Amino acid sequence: MTAFTHRYVLGAALYDAGLRVLRRRLWPRVAFVVAALLLIAILGNFAQDPMILAIALTALFIVGAVVTMAVMRMQSRRQAMLTRFGGHSAEVTIDDQGVRIVLPEQEGFRRWSLLRQLWCGKDVWILSWHGASDPVLLPAAIFAGEAGAFTRAKATEAGARVRDV
């Protein structure tokens, strides 16, 4: 296989599947930081050192604020995406040169050499590129059979990290 094209609908299910994958990767790291800060706070309390306790509680507050802001940002971006593209169809073409995505108002192309990582999930595949702030979410159904093997091979050949998530 050297190329394939697929049309798919941009909707809440695709975006939500991508968020679930990203959250599964993020929450264990956040939980580790929170647990470490709680341990420091507890040890500071047992040592009866108010400075350690104050620093740990301030850090916990900051982590909580950052997580809250991140969740609010994800929800607002979801709503913006659905308002702009919801219900429209997109077309993705994957070939030896790279990935081309045609949306209702724009078209983009990325070469394989710019691919940073490929996450392969059961509902969604996520492609992250060097120099791009937003990953590309594609339905996993696109990558059944040869298409998935072709995409994995091109990502590996380009030096990207390929993960099953």
Tell me the pLDDT tens digit for each residue of 97-118.
Answer: 999 989 877 888 999 999 999 9
The SS3 call for residue 3 is strand
For the domain with range 3-8+87-164, which CATH number is right: 3.10.530, 1.10.10, 2.30.29, 3.30.2000? 2.30.29
> H-helix or E-strand containing 136?
strand 136-139
Query: Tens digits of per-residue pLDDT, 1-30?
Result: 678 888 888 777 777 787 787 777 778 888
| Reported pTM | 0.70
Identify whether the C-beta of residue 7 lies closer than 8 Å to the C-beta of residue 91. Answer: yes
Sequence ranges of the domains in the chain: 3-8+87-164, 12-85
- Mean pLDDT (the chain) is 84
